[in-house]
Amino acid sequence: MKYRQLGRNGPSVSAIGMGRGATPVKPGEPLEAEFNKAIARAYELGINFFDSSDAYWRGRHEELLGRAIKGFRDKVLITSKFGNIDLPDGKKATNGRPEYVYECCDASLKRLGVGVIDVYFLHRVDPNVPIEETIGAMARLVEQGKVRWIGVCEAAPATLRRAHMTYPLVALQTEYSLWFREVEREILPACRELGIAYIAYAPLGRGLLTGRIRSVDDLPPNDRRRTHPRFRPENLEKNVRLVEQLEAMARGQGITTAQLALAWVLAQGENVIPIPGTNHVQNLELNVAAVDVALSHEKVVRLNEIFAVGAGAGKRAGENMLKGMGI
């Protein structure tokens, strides 16, 4: 495994972290055993950066991750997040009020079964609360020893700067892949300027860049991706044609399509750390191998041409969800 610095003032983390798998895991079901094996194998392969949130599987992901890393807790870094809320009617909400920050952190510590969260993220910016108030409360968690470092997710450059001025951030987490490159215009440059690491979630385009999804029928019936614009039938047909070009390049290099997509993300700078999610050992091992894939300048340029901004059909999320991003 190779390692990268988490921001100017943060710890050393594995060049690839481990995100949440797409399929929810329920305690006691067969998939939990596979989940545990994947976490243990990740640690064996040198991954020391495990991502979670109180919003993932309604808190179950924190519980499962906490149990899975119990035997090597002091040798890895755990992240979690707060402020991204699913309402009973299916709508989304945000909460960045200071009192809610403290409440969520205590609840996450309990679910994770740990004494401190290594990196605590504001999952979504609350437009009704000044970012200085939310970050100020998160800074007090550091002072109290409940959190080591802090970061934000899906923040606009101006918000990122205000947050960083309030208390030094080590990371920003936002979607980034060949499929979604808009962050290269302003977000990535701002992170580099401020000395903030960029945590790239969905680096495989929510599975689209693996080459395994050819039609909507390849997604489980209740899969949330069925509601994402890029997976709608009229868009997916066009998007698969782009992925076919990625597949051809991967075959020419003797690697998988997913490995090529991850290698491209890793090639975007030492401050970029992708966190592909999986519950399965086989996928994990393939993801980790991408760290050793060498891409020539010519191949990076070619991929940039194929997946130019706007080349894909469909936005990365629905309109209602997008309203809560990039604030």
> CA-CA distance, 36 to 21, in Å (whole number)?
12
Catalytic residue flag (residue 56): yes
What is the phi/psi pair of residue 252, to 5°? -65, -25
Instruction: Identify the DSSP state of 277.
Output: B
Residues in CB range of 90: below 8 A, 6 or more apart? none
Dist. CA 88–CA 198, nearest whole Å: 32
Q: Please choose, from the candidates 13, 205, 203, the residue with its C-alpha nearest in 3D space to the C-alpha of residue 118.
A: 13
- Sequence-distant (6+) residues with CB within 8 A of 292 are none
Rg of the Cα atoms in the chain: 19
CB 119, CB 152: distance < 8 Å: no
Q: At 123, which amino acid appears?
A: H
Contact call for residues 325 and 126 (beta carbons, < 8 A): no
The residue from 43, 56, 176, 201 that is catalytic is 56
Q: Which residues are catalytic?
A: 56
